[in-house]
């Protein structure tokens, strides 16, 4: 491969003969100057230089290279600085590799399925540090859709070093009750009607009436002046008193760890591919472990993980009843609030306690008013 | 031979034909006094920064000047740069 040029100086007598020989062989000379009476300096393509060197050796002229440009000079530079060039190539290869790895996995709107989504990702070895080109997003999407039937829609995409999993949790349909038909409005849950406001259709319930989930509240039909019935899509608001319940059981005994006083530290150097530590894991039977991670590789994916080990023993302790009840009530209340919706005002609440085997059970009932009307279509 | 060449030049002029192409005559183009391009040369006889002598089909072309150099030198054409003072045929 000769795509460069060579500037040479040739010394001897009758150097015009060299120019004529070059011309006769079709060699293009450039920037021909005479620095002295017995020397000529010129530039030729690197492909023609060996021919001129042969002329010089046959005529007894002394030839020497002044400068090489183009690809041959790059090749010489690479040959002389092999370690530097190798380092640059390795750095670029590593940079390219790290830029093509997955460094963040983001799961959106998976709701209660987030653990299962993570499980499917784990099964398919989709993890941080995995080379992105080896992850088949379409295959992953199909696997998520097949495994998680509770999701109505899944999308998996790679965005640079991020893997994004978008989910939509499926909403179960409302079971129709009695003679309800599409276009009617039914009760989303059990309750006692507080008020009915009909925008379209005919009210099927009245204030103070107890309704069951799925019962028709507003019928999707209206009567005309001629006593004819027209089918309409029912619309309206049905406010009812509803109740949400939740249970929480807190164990009566608690297991606590008591430090024995023995402690150790361990430093682990971590890359996405391997881990190395100069220290071994301490041989404690039971221990508390705390971990701190420090990035030490600047732009390279290298971390130092500082692990602190503290030997402990387990002791079981019986908790007092008041704190048990308080904790169980708080947990049950939180569950009930999550089910009811955190933004809704609570009208009333009850908490009942009972001992269940080894734990304290709290049963919370929340009363609140809300619109229970839901379309049946 | 010279008689034949003169006759050929005369005929080419009569018929309006390009003499440099037909007879291999040198073709000189000068840009001011700083560069000169020459086609149909037949080799270099002498090359110094002040004097360049070239062989052509109709004799020796002598160029005199200062700081002259051959910017390009090909099989049939060349480009010369420098402060050209005179161009003439003969020794």
DSSP structure class, residue A101: B
pLDDT in tens, A249-300: 988 888 888 999 999 999 999 998 888 999 898 999 899 999 999 988 888 8
Give yes or no for a contact between A315 and A256, defined as CB atoms under 8 angstroms apart.
yes
Chain centroid offset of residue A229 CA:
55
Residue in the structure block whose two tokens are 């129709």: A176
**CA A322 to CA A1: how far, in whole Å?**
88
- Nearest-CA distance B13 → chain A (Å): 31
- Of A70, A76, A30, the closest CA to residue A52 belongs to A30
- pLDDT-based confidence at residue A353 (cuts at 50, 70, 90): very high
Q: List the single residue in A with minimal CA-CA distance to B74.
A: A28
Q: List the single residue in B with minimal CA-CA distance to A39.
A: B48
∠ at Cα A322 (A316, A327), nearest 5°?
75
Of B48, B71, B73, the CB nearest to A19: B73
Give yes or no for a contact between A367 and A346, defined as CB atoms under 8 angstroms apart.
yes
Beta-bridge partners for A287: A311
**CA A332 to CA A328: how far, in whole Å?**
6
Which residues of chain B does A35 touch, with a Cβ-Cβ cutoff of 8 Å?
none
**CA A39 to CA A33: how far, in whole Å?**
9
**A16 vs B74: CB contact, 8 Å cut-off?**
no
Residue A177 has pLDDT above 60, yes or no: no
Of B44, B71, B75, the CB nearest to A31: B71
**A29 vs B46: CB contact, 8 Å cut-off?**
no
- Nearest-CA distance B23 → chain A (Å): 20
Of B44, B49, B69, the CB nearest to A19: B44
Give yes or no for a contact between A122 and A163, defined as CB atoms under 8 angstroms apart.
no
Which residues of chain A does B75 touch, with a Cβ-Cβ cutoff of 8 Å?
23-24, 26
Low-confidence ranges of chain B (pLDDT < 50): none
Give yes or no for a contact between A158 and A137, defined as CB atoms under 8 angstroms apart.
yes
**A37 vs B48: CB contact, 8 Å cut-off?**
yes
**CA B26 to CA B53: how far, in whole Å?**
13
**B73 vs A40: CB contact, 8 Å cut-off?**
no
Give the other-Cβ count within 10 Å of A17's Cβ: 15
Of A22, A28, A33, the CB nearest to B69: A33
Which residues of chain B does A7 touch, with a Cβ-Cβ cutoff of 8 Å?
none
pLDDT in tens, A197-250: 988 888 999 888 899 988 889 988 888 777 777 777 888 899 999 999 999 998
Of A24, A26, A34, the CB nearest to B48: A34
- pLDDT-based confidence at residue A375 (cuts at 50, 70, 90): confident
**CA A153 to CA A108: how far, in whole Å?**
12
- Of A262, A266, A272, A257, the closest CA to residue A292 belongs to A266
Residue in the structure block whose two tokens are 């019928």: A219
Give yes or no for a contact between A350 and A283, defined as CB atoms under 8 angstroms apart.
no
Q: What is the mean pLDDT of chain A?
A: 87
pLDDT in tens, A338-347: 888 888 888 8
Q: List the single residue in B with minimal CA-CA distance to A37.
A: B48
Helix or strand run (H / E) with residue A349: strand A348-356
Residues 68-87 of B with CB under 8 A from A: 69-75
pLDDT in tens, A304-313: 999 999 999 9
| pLDDT confidence of residue A174 | 46
Backbone angles phi, psi at B20, to 5 degrees: -65, -35
Chain A contact residues (CB < 8 Å to B): 15-16, 19-20, 22-24, 26, 28-34, 37, 40, 42
Which residues of chain A does B44 touch, with a Cβ-Cβ cutoff of 8 Å?
16, 19-20, 23
**A29 vs B48: CB contact, 8 Å cut-off?**
no
Residue % of chain A over a pLDDT of 70: 96
Residue A40 has pLDDT above 80, yes or no: yes
Q: Does B21 touch chain A (CB under 8 A)?
A: no
Give yes or no for a contact between A38 and A11, defined as CB atoms under 8 angstroms apart.
yes
**A16 vs B45: CB contact, 8 Å cut-off?**
yes
Average pLDDT over residues A20-33: 90
**Domains of chain A, first to last:** 4-78 (3.30.70.260), 104-169 (3.10.20.310), 253-318 (no CATH)
pLDDT in tens, A133-157: 888 999 999 988 888 877 778 899 9
The class of domain B24-89 in CATH terms is: mainly beta
Whether ipTM tops 0.85, in short, is no
Sheet containing A216-219, strands listed edge to edge, beginning at the edge strand earlier in sequence: A202-203, A216-219, A185-187, A373-375
DSSP A20-53: HHHHHTTPPEEEEEEEETTEEEEEEETTTHHHHH
**CA B30 to CA B37: how far, in whole Å?**
6
Q: Does B34 touch chain A (CB under 8 A)?
A: no
Model-wide pTM > 0.80: no
Residue in the structure block whose two tokens are 């190798």: A86
| pLDDT confidence of residue A352 | 92
**CA A373 to CA A185: how far, in whole Å?**
6
Of A23, A31, A42, the CB nearest to B43: A23
| pLDDT confidence of residue A173 | 47
CB pairs < 8 Å spanning A and B: 50
Of B43, B44, B71, the CB nearest to A30: B71
**CA A55 to CA A63: how far, in whole Å?**
10
**CA A228 to CA A222: how far, in whole Å?**
8
**CA A337 to CA A205: how far, in whole Å?**
28
DSSP A100-154: TB--EEEEES-GGGHHHHHHHHHHTT--TT-BGGG--HHHHHHHHHHH-TTEEEE
């Amino acid at each position: 491969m000769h795509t460069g040029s060579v500037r040479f100086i040739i010394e001897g007598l009758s150097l015009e003969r060299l120019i004529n020989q070059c011309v006769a062989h079709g060699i293009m000379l450039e920037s021909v100057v005479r620095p002295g009476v017995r020397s000529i300096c010129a530039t030729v393509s690197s492909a023609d230089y060996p021919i001129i060197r042969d002329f010089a050796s046959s005529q007894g002229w002394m030839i020497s290279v002044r400068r090489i440009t183009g690809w041959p000079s790059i090749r010489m530079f690479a040959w002389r600085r092999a370690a530097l060039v190798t380092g640059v190539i390795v750095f670029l290869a590593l940079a390219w590799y790290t830029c093509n790895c997955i460094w963040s996995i983001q799961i959106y709107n998976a709701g209660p399925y987030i653990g299962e989504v993570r499980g499917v990702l784990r099964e398919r070895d989709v993890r941080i540090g995995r080379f992105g080109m080896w992850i088949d997003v379409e295959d992953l999407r199909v696997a998520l859709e097949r495994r998680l039937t509770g999701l109505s829609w899944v999308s998996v995409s790679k965005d640079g070093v991020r893997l994004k999993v978008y989910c939509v949790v499926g909403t179960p349909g409302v079971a129709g009750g009695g003679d309800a038909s599409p276009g009617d409005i039914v009760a989303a849950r059990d309750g006692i009607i507080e008020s009915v406001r009909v925008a379209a259709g005919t009210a099927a319930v009245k204030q103070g009436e107890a309704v069951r989930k799925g019962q028709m509240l507003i019928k999707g039909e209206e009567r005309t002046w001629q006593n004819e019935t027209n089918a309409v899509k029912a619309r309206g608001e049905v406010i009812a008193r509803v109740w949400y319940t939740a249970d929480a059981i807190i164990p009566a005994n608690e297991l606590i760890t008591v430090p024995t006083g023995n402690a150790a530290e361990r430093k682990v150097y971590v890359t996405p591919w391997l881990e190395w530590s100069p220290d071994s894991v301490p041989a404690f039977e039971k221990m508390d472990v705390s971990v701190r991670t420090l990035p030490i590789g600047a732009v390279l994916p290298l971390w130092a993980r500082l692990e602190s080990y503290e030997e402990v023993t387990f002791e079981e302790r019986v908790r007092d009843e008041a704190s048990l009840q308080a904790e169980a009530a708080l947990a049950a209340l939180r569950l009930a609030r999550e089910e009811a919706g955190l933004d809704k005002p609570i009208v009333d609440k009850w908490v009942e306690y009972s001992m269940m085997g080894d734990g304290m059970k709290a049963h919370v009932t929340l009363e609140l008013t809300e619109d229970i009307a839901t379309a049946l279509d | 031979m010279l008689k034949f060449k003169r006759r050929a030049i005369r005929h080419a002029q009569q018929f309006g034909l390009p003499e440099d192409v037909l007879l291999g005559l040198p073709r000189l183009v000068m840009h001011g006094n700083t560069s000169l391009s020459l086609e149909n040369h037949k080799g270099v006889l002498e090359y110094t920064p002040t004097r360049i002598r070239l062989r052509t089909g109709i004799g020796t072309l002598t160029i005199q000047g200062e700081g002259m150099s051959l910017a390009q030198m090909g099989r049939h054409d060349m480009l010369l740069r420098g402060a050209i003072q005179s161009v003439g045929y003969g020794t």
